[in-house]
Structure 1
Amino acid sequence: MTGASTGMGAATARELARRGFHVLAGVRRESDGAALRAAAVEPVILDITNPEHVAALVARIDGDPQRRTLRALVNNAGVPGAGPVEVTPLDEWRRIFEVNLFGHVAVTQALLPALVRSKGRVVNISSVNGKLSMAGYGPYASSKHAMEALSDALRNELAPHGVQVVVVEPGGVKTEMAGHGLAGLSRLSAGMTPEQDARYGTLVQALPSHVAAFTKAGVTSDVAAKTIVKAVTDRRPRTRYVIGAVAGLLIRASRFLPDRLLDRMTTSDLRKHYPAEKHNRTAAAHHA
């Protein structure tokens, strides 16, 4: 599996190993692998945007000394990214898509011959944002929407060849990833023109609080891992698994509610975190 250095990926690798699987866990640094080795997981240095790393992974699988077959590929690696569409630099858009989409395409292409031979499974980790986007989440949500479309095409292409394709859509998960994605917001804010600041300044200020609240209300990495493991091991898997009650509610709402009503709902939730709105609520509570 890719993206197993920390959080949900590491928890999934440990849970699969606990259930008797030999797990090749993609990590970015040697130091990330120490804790995984202790859990009987084999860490593999893997930057999915690096063709040499991907080729080395293929060689490791094809040359397995115990001639084990590849049961499943879990595409979990990802980077977050937040910011208004207008002011997020194109290089940042490309960086997010390079990891969240194109890197997964590269790994999947490279491992499909082995998966077809074994009639294995591809498990793509998407997000609730793959179904539902809102102001300030465009870069990340766009990459996850693309992952959903990729998965649908792949599922239909591989079904005749016995390879199953499953999507997992997490909502809030208590990991470090969300915080990492907000680190660039201060730089983004500093680079905005006065006109852009007038349009998006309060939105950019609200995003850290909104992400923090969504993450805090989410499930732990260990809970999320159990759903991912189900996607890997269920004999007749669903095409999609959702992680978290809030994610399930939002995804169902996105299917049935009119777009403008959904827009009002998401905007209302986001506005609770606007600086002026938070100040007004705090003042009202104090006077009450």
Structure 2
Amino acid sequence: MSTSYENEVIVISGASTGLGAATARLLAEQGFHVLAGVRREQDAERLRRPGLEPILLDVTEPSQIAQLVERMNTLGKPLRAVINNAGFAANAPVETMPLETWRKVFDVNVFGLIALTQALLPSLHRSKGRVVNISSVGGRVALPAFGAYSGSKFAVEGISDALRQELAPHGVQVVVVEPGGMRTDMAVRGEEMAHSLLERMTPEQRSRYNDTMQTFLSYTASMEQAGVSSEQAAKTVLRAVTAERSRPRYTIGRDAAVMSRLIRFLPDRLLDRMIASTLRRSSKAER
């Protein structure tokens, strides 16, 4: 195990499972002292190991953010990076998504990210560290039923662009990581949420959007099967953290890499047709 990073701290939110947990473990193996934000005590006990210190963190709770900052300060070590990984997925057509669900998505994915970043920026200025925001290919292009989730990730992309330019003169780097399809617990929870939202629709809404939701579920199932593992994806986050001069953006998975290139050149309506064709193929493959 490398010990070259043993005097540096990493803060990562959303580390209970999936990409967050895999990244926290990988960074601890490299020698970092990792403060890994989790939501429940049982998640903390499962994650704990040498160099990996779980800490209760709901990014929508200012008191828990303050406690994390206090704990980090007691370590007396420079902060290498904050990795904003906490996320909440909810998928349904814009017309049918309850406003409280929209607010939950943005509270976690956008305002929670901002709150944690603001709290840690004084430390990052002192250490010349970096902000690593886990976005999504859905932050570059939106699919049907992805309005809330993609909307929040589009916001993350814009915030990250502004922050990168604001912090560059002060020696703090800002990096966006854009995963595509992944085999994670978050994807499973997203499917469960989608079923719940479908059940809450009115009969009229269900008749209008049932096909859209079924296509979404088929597409996400196919992407999970073909997606990269959390452990593979964590290696990209490690590069974003440790590269001497990181790139502004990293993609994870072939689908994310291809889509990020296509959207630069294709007209919107042609891209819409390509997305519709891809979704139809995924739906037929699942039947």
Normalising to structure 2: TM-score of the pair? 0.92
Superposed, which structure 2 residues align to 1:140-151 within 5 Å? Answer: 140-151=149-160
Q: 2:258 aligns with which of 249, 254, 257?
A: 249
Counterpart residue number, 1:30: 41
Q: 1:69 aligns with which of 70, 78, 85?
A: 78
CA distance in structure 2 between the aligned counterparts of 1:200 and 1:278, rounded to whole angstroms:
20
CA distance in structure 2 between the aligned counterparts of 1:243 and 1:132, rounded to whole angstroms:
15
**SS of residue in 1 equivalent to 2:82:** strand
Higher-Rg structure is 1
RMSD (Å) for aligned C-alpha atoms: 1.4
Q: 2:220 aligns with which of 205, 211, 214?
A: 211
1:183 equivalenced with 2:179 (yes/no)? no
Q: 2:161 aligns with which of 117, 135, 152?
A: 152
Q: 2:114 aligns with which of 93, 98, 105?
A: 105
Q: 1:53 aligns with which of 44, 59, 64?
A: 64
Which deviates the most, 108-117 or 181-190?
Answer: 181-190
**SS of residue in 1 equivalent to 2:131:** strand
- Output the amino acid matched with 2:32: F
Contact 1:122–1:166 (CA under 8 A) maintained in structure 2: yes
Superposed, which structure 2 residues align to 1:263-278 within 5 Å? Answer: 263-274=272-283, 277=284
Q: Give % identity.
A: 55
Counterpart residue number, 2:21: 10
* CA drift at 1:278: 6.2
**SS of residue in 1 equivalent to 2:143:** coil
Instruction: Provide Cα deviations, 1:142-196, integer angstroms capped at 9, x if missing partner.
Output: 1000000010010011111110000000011110111101223333223333432
Instruction: Provide Cα deviations, 1:200-243, integer angstroms capped at 9, x if missing partner.
Output: 11111222221111111111111000000000000011000000
Superposed, which structure 2 residues align to 1:104-143 within 5 Å? Answer: 104-143=113-152
Structure 1's consecutive aligned runs of 4 or more residues displaced over 6 angstroms after TM superposition are none
* CA drift at 1:268: 1.3
Contact 1:207–1:273 (CA under 8 A) maintained in structure 2: no
Normalising to structure 1: TM-score of the pair? 0.92
- Output the amino acid matched with 2:14: G
CA distance in structure 1 between the aligned counterparts of 2:148 and 2:238, rounded to whole angstroms:
28
- Output the amino acid matched with 1:97: F
* CA drift at 1:126: 0.3
The runs of 5 or more residues in structure 1 that have no matched partner are 283-288
**SS of residue in 2 equivalent to 1:210:** helix
- Output the amino acid matched with 1:10: A
* CA drift at 1:54: 0.3
**SS of residue in 2 equivalent to 1:135:** coil
Q: How many residues align?
A: 276
